[in-house]
Amino acid sequence: MNGDILAFEFFRNAVFASLLASIACGIVGSYVVVKKIGFISGGIAHTAFGGIGLGYYLGINPLFGVIPFSLGAAIAIGLLGRKAKVAEDTAIAAFWAVGMAVGVILIGLTPGYAPNLFSYLFGNILTVPTGDLWMIAMLDLLIAGVTWTFSKEFLALSFDEEYAEVSGVKTTLFYLLLLCLIALTVVILVRIVGIVLVIALLTIPAAIARVFSRSLGGMMLLATLLSAFFSLAGLWISYELDLASGATIIILAGGAFLMVHAGRLVISSWQAR
Amino acid sequence: MRREIVRCHRLGVELGGVRVLRDLSFSVDEGDFLAIVGPNGGGKTTLLRVLLGLQKPSEGHAEVFGAAPGSYPEKIGYVPQRLFFDRDFPLGVREAVLMGRMALKTPFQHYNKTDRAAAEEALRIVGLGAIGNRRIGALSGGELQRALIARALAGKPELLLLDEPTASVDPEMKTSIYDLLDKLKKSVTIVLVTHDTGTVSRFVGRVLCLNCSMVIRENPAGTPGGDAAQQVYPYPVDLLVHHPSERPESNSQILRP
């Protein structure tokens, strides 16, 4: 990478945003993978489009609209599944579509042109303002603090929920808390890869890390490093080749994911001989 | 007089319109080793879930340690029938066993030295002391069952509830698990759900025969009578006498459907 490029604030911000987002991605993504709730994460992310529409409609930073929408979707999907016994995939599908519809209507009602809409859908790491970096850093601190405080509850919830409940853990409460952490991570990742691609960055680095990890803490650390690598490498490649940054990051991560699992398959077939 | 640990009175459970348990009354005293046997769908696991506080009764009531089930999780060790989990889950055996200390901690407390020592002791009791570092997904079926028993023991429970702990292990491991329970019964009250009527009467103090049509027979000293067995199982039952020499301290009859 040309060193001069770091002289530009937008590029420095992109690098910092990549590194900061990787922390939330590594921590929360690990829970998403071991608890197998990738599609809930997708549902929360897409519902957040309603928040972007609200941001445009009210003329405020769309990320401030994303926060209540994604948190609301997390709690509603969780409660519908746990308390109202609605099948979780049904609740996800409903919120996914309704959130997008609300966003489309609100953007339609907003007078004039909706600038940067495409970057919220598919990400544009090069447009992250300094103010958003502070917000991402605060959310990182919140996510890391909550997961450290309740690490044993989240581990039990992910590994054996019934046993956690028998042990007196308020499993529904901690499940909702976990979904809220996912919602906050969505807020962070919207700027990096966009609403449509959030699910990939929440699952792929952690899924690769799981293969090489012996503990959940180790998996989080490795997933954070992988996420940082994919984001920075994707940023560099997209800059050099003039490609969309969010999509480049995801394709890089997806390629690594396929290579790791293909490698595993080859090794296990070779060992079975 | 021994302390009453579990008491069920005219207990009934209905699941999705189907009557699973009806009019069930029994008690378990401190030091008992009770086996609950019966056919598939007879309500054995449902009964255990009631005692754990995971299932609310539709009628009657259940008490565990003199209170509603679930009130004293720190006094109960639980071994599930079969733990379905992702074999790639990044978790060591020692950390899995440490979860057995969860009920003793508040949400803001992390595990400490005492918890780690208790987990280590539980691993030693079940004979897994040497493989505490191994990944939980790398254990064999028998080792996993032992690890789950260690997890249940790590909290030093007063009541151990086991749901078919020998369902998916080979005969050698089955005997070894029963031998382990035989040793444990000196220090903890045990309620064991099992299909393994052939082996169980050698080890347990009482057998509770249960089926969904509400028949319940309780037989002391592991000697279920032929009439009770015939009412409980929906197919012919033979009672076989096994040789006392196999296990001198054991009881004289086993139930073999």
CB count, 10 Å around CB of A105? 13
**Per-residue pLDDT, B240:** 45
Query: Is residue B248 pLDDT above 80, yes or no?
Result: no
Residue B257 confidence class, pLDDT cut points 50, 70, 90:
very low
Contacts of A150 in chain B (CB under 8 A): 107
Query: Residue B228 has what pLDDT?
Result: 55
> For domain A3-272, which architecture applies?
Orthogonal Bundle (1.10)
Contact A152 B102 (CB under 8 A): yes
Query: Using an 8 Å Cβ cutoff, are A166 and B76 in contact?
Result: yes
Task: Give per-residue pLDDT as tens, B67-106.
Answer: 999 999 999 999 998 777 888 899 999 999 999 999 999 9
Is residue B188 pLDDT above 80, yes or no? yes
**Is A214 within 8 Å of B102 when comparing Cβ atoms?**
no
Q: Residue A10 pLDDT > 60, yes or no?
A: yes
- The structure tokens listed for A211 are 């293969």
Among chain A residues, CA nearest to B51? A166
User: What per-residue confidence (pLDDT) applies to B227?
Assistant: 58
Q: How far is B74 from chain A (nearest CA, A)?
A: 7
Q: Flag if B78 and A210 touch (Cβ within 8 Å).
A: no
Contacts of A221 in chain B (CB under 8 A): none
B242 band by pLDDT with thresholds 50, 70 and 90: very low
Lowest mean pLDDT among A129-143, A150-164, B183-197, B210-224: B210-224
Distance from CA of A174 to the nearest CA of B (A): 10
Angstrom distance (rounded) from CA A246 to CA B236: 68
Q: Work out the minimum CA distance from B134 to partner chain A, whole angstroms.
A: 9
What are the C-alpha distances in Å from B161 to residues B4, B73, B165, B182?
15, 12, 10, 14
- What's the pLDDT at B229? 57
Among the partner-chain residues A36, A166, A215, the one whose CB lies closest to the CB of B73 is A166
Residue in chain A nearest B69 by alpha carbon: A166
pLDDT at A1: 53
**pLDDT score of B68:** 96
* Three-state SS at A8: coil
Show the domains of chain B with their CATH numbers.
4-256 (3.40.50.300)
Q: What is the pLDDT of residues A85-131, one digit of tens each?
A: 889 899 999 999 999 999 999 999 998 877 778 888 888 888 888 88
Residues in chain A within 8 Å Cβ distance of B92: 214-215
Give A75→chain B minimum CA distance, Å.
21
* ipTM reported for the complex, 2 dp: 0.85
**Using one digit for the tens of pLDDT, what is the confidence trace for A244-266?**
988 999 999 999 999 999 999 99
What does the pLDDT average to over B191-213?
76
Q: In whole numbers, what is the pLDDT of chain A averaged over residues?
A: 92
Tell me how far CA of residue B67 lies from CA of A249, B51, B70, in angstroms: 56, 11, 8
Q: Is 70 exceeded by the pLDDT of residue A150?
A: yes
Q: Is the pLDDT of residue B197 over 80?
A: no
CB < 8 Å to B71, chain A: none
Find the residue in A nearest to B97 (Cα). A156
Do the beta carbons of residue A30 and residue B88 sit within 8 Å? no
Higher pLDDT, A124 or B5: B5
pLDDT score, position B212: 47
Position B142 scores a pLDDT of 86
Task: Give tens-digit pLDDT for A16-46.
Answer: 999 999 999 999 999 999 999 999 999 999 9
Between chains, do A166 and B105 touch, taking CB under 8 Å as contact?
no
> What is the C-alpha end-to-end distance of chain A, expressed in Å?
45
- Percentage of chain B lying above the pLDDT 90 cut: 47
Measured in angstroms, the CA of A36 and the nearest CA of chain B are apart by 10
Q: Comparing A98 with B253, which gets the higher pLDDT?
A: A98
Domain boundaries, chain A: 3-272
pLDDT of residue A126: 86
User: A164 to chain B: which residues are within 8 Å by CB?
Assistant: 99, 102
pLDDT of B235 higher than 70: no
* Yes or no, beta carbons of B80 and A149 under 8 Å apart: no
For residues A200-211, average pLDDT: 95
DSSP alpha helix (H) spans, B27-170: 44-52, 93-98, 113-125, 141-154
Does residue B208 have a pLDDT over 90? no
Least confidently predicted of A80-84, A260-264, B36-40: B36-40
Indicate the pLDDT class of residue B241, thresholds 50, 70 and 90: very low
Q: What is the pLDDT of residue A114?
A: 75
A159 contact residues in B (CB cutoff 8 A): 85, 89, 91, 96, 99
Tell me: pLDDT of B214 over 70.
no
Sheet holding B4-15, edge to edge: B18-29, B4-15, B59-64
For residue B153, pLDDT beyond 70: yes
